[in-house]
């Protein structure tokens, strides 16, 4: 059995991000397999719906960041960039809440807190 070096919520979060990257780009299979192996021996049945919710949040963030990641943000008006920044902040707030719900269900003592941070 592999003992995770990250809190389980971080492994789940990174695994879901790697899944999305693979779905969108067809690349990063080594990264995806690494995280799949890390969480493979952990019973995640009790958090399946929350993992689906977390993946939906990451997909929303991916969509909001698309032009910002590809260097085409100059094609967006400044008000649209600001709107996306606020939407990303709001999605990250949901992400933290969902990760903390997962932590509680799985008995992970490490929860994420953001103070005086844009994701509050």
Using 50, 70 and 90 to split pLDDT, how confident is the model at 120?
very low
Range 18-41 average pLDDT: 94
pLDDT over 90 percentage in the chain: 64
Q: How many angstroms separate the CA atoms of 91 and 118, rounded?
A: 11
Using 50, 70 and 90 to split pLDDT, how confident is the model at 112?
confident
- Give Cα 15 to chain centroid, integer Å: 8
Quick one: which of 28, 27, 20, 30 has its CA closest to 65? 20
Greater pLDDT, 5 or 112: 112
Q: Report the chain's mean pLDDT, rounded to a whole number.
A: 88
Q: Is position 112 within any domain?
A: no
* Owning domain of residue 34: 8-106
Q: How many angstroms separate the CA atoms of 39 and 42, rounded?
A: 5
Number of domains forming the structure of the chain? 1
Q: Is position 30 within any domain?
A: yes
Range 59-72 average pLDDT: 84
For residue 70, the model assigns a pLDDT of 73
């Amino acid at each position: 059995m592999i003992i995770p070096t990250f809190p389980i919520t971080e492994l789940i979060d990174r695994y879901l991000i790697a899944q999305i990257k693979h779905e969108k780009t067809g690349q990063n299979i080594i990264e995806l397999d690494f995280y799949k192996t890390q969480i493979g021996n952990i019973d995640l049945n009790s958090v399946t719906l929350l993992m689906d919710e977390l993946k939906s949040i990451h997909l929303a963030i991916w969509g909001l960041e698309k032009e910002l990641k590809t260097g085409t943000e100059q094609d967006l008006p400044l008000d649209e960039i600001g709107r996306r920044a606020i939407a990303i902040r709001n999605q990250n707030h949901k992400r933290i809440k969902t990760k903390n719900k997962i932590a509680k269900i799985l008995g992970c003592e490490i929860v994420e807190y953001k103070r005086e941070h844009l994701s509050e």
